[in-house]
Amino acid sequence: MVDSYYEAMRAKGFSYNTTASLKKFRCPNCGFEFSMMYARTFACQGCSEAWNNCPKLRCAKCDHEFFMTETPQIHNEYQQRNISEHISRIVTDWNEGQGHKPNR
């Protein structure tokens, strides 16, 4: 289902950072399929590093933590930094809109 959102957003001209953060991949440890945005939203919830451009992702199923460069859509450290900054901005904006603080 997330891949259909990815395709629709790409067709509408959304940025690479946005579409890449929604494209599904498999956890290198357990094979659970999810997107970077899902990982940051659910598995990294409550971690202050999620607000600070963390280059890692965490599987919501097995809790395995790994670098974004281990996913098929991120090929180098430059892309990893761009995506992590992009996702952090989205998470920060949403959390601040809800009245949450990064140190909770």
pLDDT single digits (tens) 60-84? 899 999 998 888 888 888 888 888 8
Q: Which domain holds residue 58?
A: 2-97
Tokens of 100: 């949450």
Q: Which of 71, 96, 97, 95 is nearest to 84 (CA)?
A: 71
Distance between CA atoms of 82 and 19, rounded to whole angstroms?
13
Q: Find tokens 């607000």 and name the residue.
A: 51
In a domain, 104, yes or no: no
Q: Cα–Cα distance between 60 and 34 in angstroms, integer?
A: 9
Judge whether 30 lies within some domain: yes
Q: What is the residue-wise DSSP string for 16-29?
A: HHHHHHHS-EE-TT
pLDDT for 44: 82
Distances (CA, A) of 73 to 5, 80, 100, 101: 16, 9, 30, 30
Query: Band of the pLDDT at 40, cuts 50, 70, 90?
Result: confident
Give a yes or no: residue 6 inside a domain.
yes
Q: How many domains does the chain have?
A: 1
- Give the pLDDT mean for 2-6: 61
Question: What is the model's pLDDT at position 85?
Answer: 87
Q: Please indicate, yes or no, if residue 41 is contained in any of the structural domains.
A: yes
Question: Which pLDDT score, from 0 to 100, does residue 66 have?
Answer: 92
Instruction: Assess if residue 102 is contained within a domain.
Output: no
pTM score of the predicted model: 0.72
Give the whole-number percent of the chain exceeding pLDDT 70: 88
CB 65 within 8 A of CB 56: yes
